[in-house]
Every structure is written in C-alpha cells, then in structure tokens.
Amino acid sequence: MNTFEELNRTGFIAEQIDPTLDLFVEIEKLKKEKNAVVLAHYYQEPDIQDIADYLGDSLGLSQEAAKTDADVIVFAGVHFMAETAKILSPEKKVLLPDLKAGCSLSDSCPPHLFAKFKEKYPDHLVITYVNCTAELKALSDLVCTSSNAVQIVNSLPKDAKIIFGPDRNLGAYVAKKTGRDLVLWNGACMVHEIFSQQRILKLKAENPNAQFIAHPECEEVVLSMADYIGSTTGLLNYTVTHPAKAFIVATESGIIHQMEKLNPDKMFIPAPPNNTCACNECPHMKLNTLEKLYICLKNGLPEVTIPTHIINKARKPIERMLEISAQLGL
C-alpha cells in the first residue's frame, strides 16, 4: 500500500515513533525548519493545545489563518477548519493531522441537498455557519461563527430574507436574539445535542452557587437554563471575569483545559450527557493526537486541497464575515 492509499484508508500515516523522543521539542524544531505554524481549536487534547502557536475558536482561527506569514499551516482541528485556512491562504500548504477528523454538523448538510433547498427561496440571502464544507460556503452570501452570528445577521437590512444553516439550534438562538424570521436548515452537532436537561437540573441543585454556561449550538431546553450563552472564547472569558468559583460547562469538554489553566482556583464541571458515555467529547476532534501532529509535520502529509473554483467562490463570504467582524471590533 502506498502513502496516498494509506491516507485514503486511515486518514494518517501510521509511522513508528522513537519512544525516547520528546515530541514537544521535535515539533518545535520542525516548525522552525519548515516555517510552520500550529493553529489549534479549544476542543483539542491538552498536549496539542499546549504546543499550539495560536489557540482559539472558529472566528479567531479564521482571522489567524488569514494573516499568518508561515509557509505551512498545521491545523489541529477538524476538516472544515483546515479547509477554511486553505481558502483564506491558498498559496500555503495546509496540513491536518488526521484527514478523518470530520464534523457531524458539517455532515448533516450535504452541499447538493442544500443547493436544492436554496432553490426554494430564490430571494433569500444565505448565511452559513463556518462549521460546514468548502462547497457549502461556496453556495453562501455570508459565513458566520458562534462568536459573531448575531452581529452578522443584524448587519443586514431589517427586511432581508435569510436562509441560515446548517445548525438549527444556533439558527433558532440567532432568530430569538435578532427578532428575525430565519429559514433554518435542519442540522445539528452530535455533541451539543446530547446534554441532559434533567441531569443538568440535578447538577445545578447540587451546586447552587455554580454558574451554568452553554454554547449556542445546544438545544433551547438547555439554553433556557443557562446563566450565560456564548462561543467557546466567550465561555472562556466569562469564567475569567465572573467572580463565581464553580461553573457547569455545556460544550465540548476540551475547553475545560484552558479554563482550569486560566482559573486554577475555580472548579469546572462538564455538563452531563443523557447517557453514561463520554459524549461531551467530540470523537472527530479527538482523532488528532500529538503523535499524529508530529508525523504530519515531519512528512508534510496529510495535506488539505480544494479545487480552485471552490476556493474562489468560498473566499468571498468568509472575507465578508471577517470585514464585518473587524468593523464591529470582534
């Protein structure tokens, strides 16, 4: 089996690593040698978060990908994030430690079906959440993230007719906050739909002084209980500025690593799922490991590629989002 067949089958190069190697040191060497930068999402495993040159949520990562002067971007996240980096920096090599690191929300909105859905509303603008494929972004007028979705919608004329996809929960939250009547695609994130209302209520009763904070991809029944709703960066900042000493956190549990680093005197409790599994961990995000990141940087593979015509179409709505965000100071 050749390397590309292996990548297609497994998503990464299965290579033996000398167990005596200090991977943190070796990765730093490779970054200097290849003029590479590691961008990582808050949902990555702690070791990857700690080795990253930039750590953030989708908006921050998009902004960083657009301005980096590195020759190589190693994106420690999921596939749509690496695609976004490639769209914004097409001349750079963009690597993803594991090509199988996908996204349940992105998978819930196949572009060919969304194109047919869009045809039903020819007079509507299309806003897509960044958690989607490059092909879907190419069908959009604007892209948004959970950090700026409300502001992006509010930047449009009051009478604008809008399709919002693919996340129905974020769309419903944005519709409620803006008072707009949005046409929603029926997609969702498997992690953010797993939280149990009854178990959260029990946890709140057991920890009456804890703040309950939630990501807007959660269902309305969960959001209605929250003391604060925000993006991953918003949630992180809230734990720093709020005087509470305990927080119940309803989003992917990877963010808790940063919360604990920034707030060593505070307690963070992952919101419980509706069963006994560790379902508040994204299985796609957790496919990336420090070992795969090292192998990926060492070999320059797996590389994320996108057809030029898709890049050209998808870049416009992303750049428009970044322009609006900059104007609003986001």
Task: Render pLDDT for 74-118 as a digit per residue (tens, 0 to 9).
Answer: 999 998 889 999 999 999 999 999 988 878 778 788 999 999 999
User: Alpha helices, DSSP H only, in the chain?
Assistant: 3-10, 23-34, 46-51, 58-67, 79-88, 104-107, 111-119, 134-137, 149-154, 168-178, 197-206, 220-223, 232-241, 256-262, 290-299, 308-327
Other beta carbons less than 10 A from residue 172's beta carbon:
17
**Tell me, what's the pLDDT at 279?**
56
In angstroms, the CA 88 to CA 304 distance is: 13
Query: Which of these ranges, 20-29, 53-62, 236-245, has the smallest mean pLDDT?
Result: 53-62
Percent of the chain residues topping a pLDDT of 70: 96
Assign 157 a pLDDT band (cuts: 50, 70, 90): very high
**Residue 253: what pLDDT?**
86
At 1 the pLDDT is 60
User: Can you tell me the mean pLDDT for 141-146?
Assistant: 94
Confidence of residue 297 (pLDDT cuts 50, 70, 90): very high
Q: Which CATH superfamily is domain 197-270 in?
A: NadA-like (3.40.50.10800)
Question: What's the pLDDT at 115?
Answer: 95
Query: Lowest-pLDDT range, 179-188, 274-283, 293-302?
Result: 274-283
CA distance 313 to 213: 36
- Counting Cα atoms < 13 Å in the Cβ hemisphere of 111 gives 12
User: Where along the chain do the CATH 3.40.50.10800 domains lie?
Assistant: 3-102+284-305, 105-189+312-327, 197-270
Q: State pTM to two decimals.
A: 0.85
**pLDDT, tens only, 176-213:** 999 999 999 988 777 776 777 888 899 899 999 999 99
Instruction: Report the candidate in 123, 124, 128 with the shortest Cα–Cα distance to residue 108.
Output: 128
Using the predicted structure, report yes or no on whether residue 11 has a pLDDT greater than 90. Answer: no
pLDDT score at 142: 96
Number of DSSP helices (H) and strands (E) in the chain, helices first: 16, 12
pLDDT of residue 13: 81
Tell whether the model's pLDDT for residue 33 goes beyond 70.
Answer: yes
Confidence (pLDDT) at 180? 95
**How do beta strands 72-76 and 125-129 pair?**
unpaired
User: Coil, helix or strand for 228?
Assistant: strand
User: What is the CATH number assigned to the segment(s) 3-102+284-305?
Assistant: 3.40.50.10800
The top-level CATH class assigned to 105-189+312-327 is: alpha beta
Q: Tell me the torsion sign for CA atoms 62, 152, 305, 292.
A: positive
What tokens were used for 54?
């930039």
**pLDDT of amino acid 96:** 95
Average pLDDT over residues 232-236: 93
**pLDDT attached to residue 30:** 97
Query: Contact at 8 Å (CB) between 255 and 42?
Result: yes
